[in-house]
Structure 1
Amino acid sequence: MRILIVEDEPNLLRQLKAGLEGAGYAVDTATDGEDGHYLGTTETYDAVILDLGLPEVDGLTVLDRWRREGRTMPVLVLTARDSWSDKVAGLDAGADDYLAKPFQTEELIARLRALIRRAAGKATSELSAGGVRLDTRSGRVSLDGEPVKLTAQEFKLLSYLMHHKGKVISRTELIEHIYDQDFDRDSNTIEVFITRIRKKLGSDLISTTRGLGYSLNDAD
């Protein structure tokens, strides 16, 4: 999953980026509202963490612009102003959740997981397809009840496909959502990871639609 953080406090930005990358997310960052709005408009994200008190353009304005432009990614608003009016303003502008500073990174990551699940229509942290189970909270994967060890990138790819089970996902979309902005998009690593996942979890788990992409078979 690919996340955008728009935050102007350098220490907090580093802390959030490290925490999210440690949890398996691909992370892009912006330090002001103008750059944040541009990235959120031109790139594809599974969720955004947006500070309200930003230089150049404030967070509420950025969020309002995204929603008016039809951008529907989940947005978690951060604010140092722990008042009900700021929370209401953020939610009314199109935020999906909020956290007041200071907060624990673990809580932010849990809220982020929940936002991404809800956006994909999933009710719990455990995703399934056939005999495969993937727990987004613990990072565990099993096949017919037996644990299966995946690499970090294999887990990211499988998780994205499981969040969009039954849909054909293009190679470009997979790259956009499991890697950060600087990744070489001409790389053939997606094909390599698909092959490895099939070897570990079964050749019929992921289907290839020639010329279109990959889909996770939705038979449970």
Structure 2
Amino acid sequence: MSIKLKRGDKLVLATHNAGKLAEFQDMLKDFGLDIVSAGALGLPEPDETGTTFVENARLKAHAAAKATGEIALSDDSGISVTALDGAPGVYTADWAGVPRDFNRAMQKVHDLLVEKGATDRSAQFNAVLCLALPDGTDMIFEGVAPGTLVWPPVGDSGHGYDPMFLPDGHEKTFGQMTAEEKHSWAPGKEGLSHRARAFAKFVKEAL
């Protein structure tokens, strides 16, 4: 079953992450939706017990939809490093510790690559969006952005591991790009970031 949103519809963004919230608000600003975040509503963060991005995206979207009775959109995303057998993957945020410190997380990735003597610095960002109804219906949209890890990190834009990620075909890290450059999204375009690529599919099928 497909889900279609229209202007004026309320959409709960199932996130407590300020960086993700800002990115979604920016990409959704022209669609006339009434957007509120799970964080602003004081909803608890569900335990992310899934072992894949799809499982965790579903957990978050369905928890928000059921708690509010509204349509909810979640994102589960992370970075997968080839030489680390796909780690940190779904545990991307966990590597930053509590409170989250992504400088520490990026250092951990670098240290492990050095420890392994890895020459392959390829990696990819993955994003899965889940659009869910309170009745349990959902739609899944996936996006991938391939690239290379650089050291030391460069740039202070974006969030997470952005300063150490150089997307394929570009000379600036995500951390050096403006939001417009990083997403490079427009109607009919695929976009650059993993989230923008998943978002393009979401727009095509649900808006």
The structure with more helix, counted as a fraction of residues = 1
Q: TM-score, normalised by structure 1?
A: 0.28
Higher Cα Rg, which structure: 1
Q: TM-score, normalised by structure 2?
A: 0.29
